[in-house]
Amino acid sequence: MSNRYAESTLRLLEVMDTLRVQCPWDREQTFESLRNNTIEETYELADAIADGNMDGIKEELGDLLLHVVFYSKLGAEQGVFDYADVANGICDKLIYRHPHVYGDIHADTPAEVKHNWELLKLRKKNRKKGTLGGVPRSLPAMVKAYRIGEKAAGVGFDWECREDVWSKVKEEIGEVEAEIASADRERMADEFGDLFFALINACRLYGVDPELALERTNKKFIKRFDGMEEAAAAEGRTLGELSADEMNELWERQKTENR
């Protein structure tokens, strides 16, 4: 491996050491104070990935790497762990969870690798917490639902045929409609949640990331809606001044122009 990697890592660690001593802001940071910033940086990386922005991905990866080094520095100061412990820990975990590479287990497909991964995680780490105990509580609900479905499927709790999920989706739609008719808002919320969960599992079974799929729809809607406002403004009007039929006409035009 090139010395370039070792040199750049050492440089970052030395910069962190210097900042922790000489910068007033860096000196006062704690695990707790950095937490929200770490979450924000993760979302910024996700945005760059969604946009296909390679310069942005590189920059945001650097920001996240800084957080790894920062937390490691805090751990070293408290005498609980340091950067070497973090790096060696993930190496040990990867070797343990890839017995088809480092051991005598056979896994010829990505699905087999994933199944073995979940079983090994459950055996070593989540024996007390259970299969779903490793799903972070702070995950956004959609991402959490997807991971729950993945983990349950990893131990065999899944639809035998992915097409069968649509029966569950239809069942949940019926239950939502029934609760809407009853006007019980709490039960309505429960059934909407069940419907979302079923749809997210459908995405998983068909290899679609629901978060990315919804974000693509968000962007598409924004583009079309902005186009409607621009078209109305070109006529000296706002959307609020248009009739429902006029807005529908503008919307259909934008759907044709911005697919």
Q: What is the pLDDT of residues 207-216, one digit of tens each?
A: 999 988 998 8
- CA-CA distance, 43 to 47, in Å (whole number)? 6
pTM of the model: 0.65
- Whole-number pLDDT of residue 125: 57
- CA-CA distance, 117 to 154, in Å (whole number)? 8
Contact yes or no for 60/45 (Cβ under 8 A)? yes
Both tokens of 20, joined, read 């922790």
- CA-CA distance, 10 to 23, in Å (whole number)? 19
Alpha-carbon distances, residue 34 vs 83, 166, 217, 244 (angstroms): 17, 42, 32, 48
- Whole-number pLDDT of residue 1: 59
Exposed e or buried b per residue across 149-175, where buried means at least 16 C-beta atoms within 10 angstroms of its C-beta: bebebbeeebeeeeeebeebbeebeeb
- Whole-number pLDDT of residue 127: 54
Q: Which residues of the chain have pLDDT under 70?
A: 1, 122, 124-128
Half-sphere exposure of 41 (CA within 13 A, CB side): 16
Q: Is 60 exposed, middle or buried (0-12, 13-18, 19+ CB in 10 A)?
A: buried
